[in-house]
Chains A and B, each alone.
Chain A
Amino acid sequence: MTEPIRVPTMAEMLASGETPEVLFWVGCAGSFDDRAKKITKAFVRILNAAKVKFAVLGTEESCTGDPARRAGNEFLFQMQAQNNIMVMNGYGVKRIVTACPHCFNTLKNEYPVLGGNYEVMHHTQFINALIKEGRIKVEGGSFKGKRITFHDPCYLGRGNGEYEAPREVLLKLDAALVELKRSKQNGLCCGAGGAQMFKEAEPGKKEVNIERSEEALAASPNIIAAGCPFCNTMLTDGVKHFNKEGEVQVKDVAELIAEASDL
């Protein structure tokens, strides 16, 4: 944490005649949510350390439209999508990385039919590639002997079939990776998807995040690893509900890697 982070924007890159190798799509949570901003910064530290030539859209970025579409407002989704695509195509964006599985799913799967064709990666896939290419080194020392469990985000796992990248990254930490009872294809939702994050839950006998957190705590981990800012919020709240925030941390994969590499 010695150096300040460097976050170039697409506009600055263009002005200096440079082309980034990848656009970091920060997303609304990553931009505005206090907890998620830490994930954003951790990921930027990794990008800086790996000397990745990246840029963000900054104030030119706008919601992908995921929650609007899932809340039934197709018009608003498509307005957002058209505007974002215009901005990105204007910059000639080819590759995108994002730390949010919802942005990831929308950019990757739902933008092509509207004219936005990009190679889109989730940050756990990107970090995994950086490690494999030797662009960053991960020392697992501080995590040795710890138990880490990974909660699959629906929009990364079931939605897009990516179960291994986050696990491969976590294995670099030399910690014991324990699986939850319901994991991978059978993973249980945190309760935030489908625009639920932005509304009260419908009447029921329990909150979904409590159900999931209960299961995660049953695996007696030291750390619950997440790969989605919304899952992170839901699980953090769930852990607090059981008064376990002193013993169990909820951390994003990027935060764990940044921490392990002393970034």
Chain B
Amino acid sequence: MGISSIVFIVLLVGASWLFARNFMRIRRNILLGRDVTINDRKGERWALMARVALGQSKMVVRPVAGFLHIIVYAGFVIINIEVLEIIIDGVFGTHRVLSFMGGFYDFLIGSFEWLALGVWLACAIFLVRRNIIKLKRFVMKELDGWPRTDANLILFTEIALMSAFLLMNAAEIEAQSRVEPWADTIIHQFPISPVIASVAAFHTLDVSTLMLIERICWWFHIIGILAFLNYLVVSKHLHILLAFPNVWYSSLKPKTEIINMDRVTGEVKSMLDPAVPPPVVAPHTVAGAEMTERFGAKDVFDLSWKQLMDGMTCTECGRCTSVCPANLTGKLLSPRKIMMDTRDRLEEVGKVIDTKGKWEEDGKSLHSRITEEELWACTTCNACTEACPVNIDPVGIIMDMRRYLVMEESKTRPALANMLTNVENNGAPWQMAQADRLKWADPA
């Protein structure tokens, strides 16, 4: 086994181990959420996942971004077949081990080259949309700092990976044409790389330089992929993995249906009928800390694991915010920010658990990041949930946080306090007597 094989195996195993460890940490964080069981209507869920996640049905609602995204997505999935060959070559020190397939191999790599070119161009257009055209949803305040850098880094990395793949082929094609030293290898026919070879004036380079370029690109490509894999766990780009389970577990209910709080049902039943005992709420342990169930959401522990998965899945595309009536009319609320805040708070909590070995109060909560002004601006119109390409539900989080404000902290808007009093006293949101409820039908 050559030194390069050993280096390769060490890198591969190391990167995979690191990724697995970080991914399990994300899984642990998500499971800090309240337990909910989502396993009904499995057939519908698989179909939904096939349509929305695999089939990108909600992405193409916006045709330009949708089309470009499909190219990048298809490129990512299909070109990674190439990674299989890279791994075999890397471990066993072979070169293009799958090329025994002959013409079919060239067809495959040829297709990858077309896709690589497509991905390259699509990412370049995405960069232009973000940084030159400055589409509104990509220059909003909540993206200042790391989120904007994150987005650009992802696009540059993909461009670099695709460039390495094409340059690698180009160098090899040129080297092949010199017959030596790869006279015994199959002469490949690729569509894009010869053009690159000629544009890059590879004919002026000697064979050893070409071979060096080929090797550098090969190593850059695979190290890049392994690095990117580990970048996912600290990036919004995690959506490429979580989009699938997130859609599978997404709500199949009518969008405007708000999830019932069963504990309140128990409390109300007991209030209406003294024979019914009130529900017993037993404290439970989460991350080594004892917790009691709250009314509504103060912190990530009060949201369901699905709501936390929503936060981790969000890739900050901002389609939700761009259709939100509150945001469109200048209110502070941005559904995307709700998701980003949920994720950031979850990661903050996760870090405390990592350092201390268990959860210890840090004096902060979801409400440290999401203000009442944001929460009270939502009209629950569900334009955001409709727009989200991966079925994230910001409205549910907003509702649960409102519930906490009202039921645990007695914080509301003054006019809403009046409305609630009216409903309680006269069964209508206005100060109208229930006895007058049929007055509209009076002939007068």
Q: Across the interface, which residues of A come within 8 angstroms of B430, CB to CB?
A: 28, 32-33
Q: Across the interface, which residues of B come within 8 angstroms of A114, CB to CB?
A: 260, 265
A160 CA to B437 CA, complexed, in Å: 28
Q: Across the interface, which residues of A come within 8 angstroms of B267, CB to CB?
A: 75
Indicate if the CB atoms of A189 and B329 lie closer than 8 Å.
no
Indicate if the CB atoms of A74 and B416 lie closer than 8 Å.
no
Indicate if the CB atoms of B330 and A195 lie closer than 8 Å.
no
Residue A113 CB within 8 A of the other chain: yes
A65 CA to B423 CA, complexed, in Å: 8
Taking CB atoms and an 8 Å cut-off, the chain B residues in 243-275 that contact chain A are: 253-258, 260-261, 264-265, 267-269, 271-272
Contact for A78 among B264, B399, B427, CB less than 8 A: B264
Residue B298 CB within 8 A of the other chain: no
Q: Across the interface, which residues of A come within 8 angstroms of B427, CB to CB?
A: 28, 61-63, 80
Residue A73 CB within 8 A of the other chain: yes
Q: Across the interface, which residues of B come within 8 angstroms of A28, CB to CB?
A: 427-430, 432
Q: Mark B18-37, 1 if CB is under 8 A from A, else 0.
A: 00000000000000000000
Q: What's the least CB distance linking B296 to chain A, in Å?
A: 7
Indicate if the CB atoms of B381 and A154 lie closer than 8 Å.
yes
> Which of B258, B328, B440 has the largest count of A CB atoms less than 10 A from its CB?
B440
Indicate if the CB atoms of B329 and A205 lie closer than 8 Å.
yes
Residue A200 CB within 8 A of the other chain: yes
Residue B3 CB within 8 A of the other chain: no
**Which partner residue on chain A sits nearest B400 by CB separation?**
A72
Residue B379 CB within 8 A of the other chain: yes
A44 CA to B415 CA, complexed, in Å: 32
Residue B12 CB within 8 A of the other chain: no
Indicate if the CB atoms of A196 and B379 lie closer than 8 Å.
yes
Indicate if the CB atoms of B413 and A203 lie closer than 8 Å.
no
Contact for B438 among A56, A160, A196, CB less than 8 A: A56
Indicate if the CB atoms of A110 and B257 lie closer than 8 Å.
yes
Taking CB atoms and an 8 Å cut-off, the chain B residues in 318-339 that contact chain A are: 323, 325-326, 328-333
Taking CB atoms and an 8 Å cut-off, the chain B residues in 394-444 that contact chain A are: 399, 402-407, 412-413, 415-416, 418-420, 423-424, 427-430, 432, 434-441, 443
Indicate if the CB atoms of A72 and B403 lie closer than 8 Å.
yes
Q: Across the interface, which residues of A come within 8 angstroms of B440, CB to CB?
A: 26, 30-32, 37, 40-41
Residue total for B at the interface (Cβ-Cβ under 8 A): 66
Residue B376 CB within 8 A of the other chain: yes
Contact-residue bracket for chain A: 35 or more
Q: What's the least CB distance linking B432 to chain A, in Å?
A: 5
Taking CB atoms and an 8 Å cut-off, the chain B residues in 295-334 that contact chain A are: 295-296, 323, 325-326, 328-333
Residue B293 CB within 8 A of the other chain: no
A34 CA to B256 CA, complexed, in Å: 27
A158-B438 in contact given A72-B412, A204-B326, A211-B325 (Cβ < 8 Å): no
Q: Mark A2-46, 1 if CB is under 8 A from B, else 0.
A: 001101010000000000000000101011110001001100100
Residue A54 CB within 8 A of the other chain: no
Q: What's the least CB distance linking B101 to chain A, in Å?
A: 46
Q: What's the least CB distance linking B253 to chain A, in Å?
A: 7
Q: Across the interface, which residues of A come within 8 angstroms of B380, CB to CB?
A: 70, 154, 193-194
**Which partner residue on chain A sits nearest B375 by CB separation?**
A72
Q: Across the interface, which residues of A come within 8 angstroms of B373, CB to CB?
A: 202-203
Q: Across the interface, which residues of B come within 8 angstroms of A187, CB to CB?
A: 383
Residue B82 CB within 8 A of the other chain: no
Indicate if the CB atoms of B441 and A5 lie closer than 8 Å.
yes
Residue B155 CB within 8 A of the other chain: no
Q: Across the interface, which residues of B come within 8 angstroms of A105, CB to CB?
A: 254, 256-257
Indicate if the CB atoms of A72 and B264 lie closer than 8 Å.
no
Indicate if the CB atoms of B420 and A160 lie closer than 8 Å.
no
Taking CB atoms and an 8 Å cut-off, the chain B residues in 211-228 that contact chain A are: none
**Which partner residue on chain A sits nearest B411 by CB separation?**
A72
Indicate if the CB atoms of A67 and B423 lie closer than 8 Å.
yes
Indicate if the CB atoms of B323 and A186 lie closer than 8 Å.
yes
Residue B382 CB within 8 A of the other chain: yes
> Which of A58, A199, A205, A211 has the largest count of B CB atoms less than 10 A from its CB?
A199
Q: Across the interface, which residues of A come within 8 angstroms of B264, CB to CB?
A: 74-75, 78
Residue B377 CB within 8 A of the other chain: yes
**Which partner residue on chain A sits nearest B329 by CB separation?**
A206
Contact for B257 among A74, A109, A206, A212, CB less than 8 A: A109
Indicate if the CB atoms of A204 and B331 lie closer than 8 Å.
yes
A208-B329 in contact given A75-B267, A158-B381 (Cβ < 8 Å): yes
A158-B419 in contact given A56-B438, A71-B406 (Cβ < 8 Å): no
Q: Across the interface, which residues of B come within 8 angstroms of A200, CB to CB?
A: 413, 415
Q: Across the interface, which residues of A come within 8 angstroms of B323, CB to CB?
A: 186, 188
Q: Across the interface, which residues of A come within 8 angstroms of B438, CB to CB?
A: 7, 9, 31, 56, 58-59
Q: What's the least CB distance linking B36 to chain A, in Å?
A: 14
A114 CA to B267 CA, complexed, in Å: 13
Contact for B331 among A82, A197, A202, CB less than 8 A: A202
Besides A202-B333, A212-B325, 7 more A-B contacts (Cβ < 8 Å) are A71-B406, A72-B406, A79-B424, A105-B254, A200-B415, A201-B377, A207-B329
**A-B contacts, 8 listed (Cβ < 8 Å):** A33-B430, A62-B427, A72-B405, A78-B261, A80-B427, A109-B256, A154-B256, A186-B383
List 3 tightest A-B contacts by C-beta distance, closest first.
A159-B256, A205-B330, A62-B427
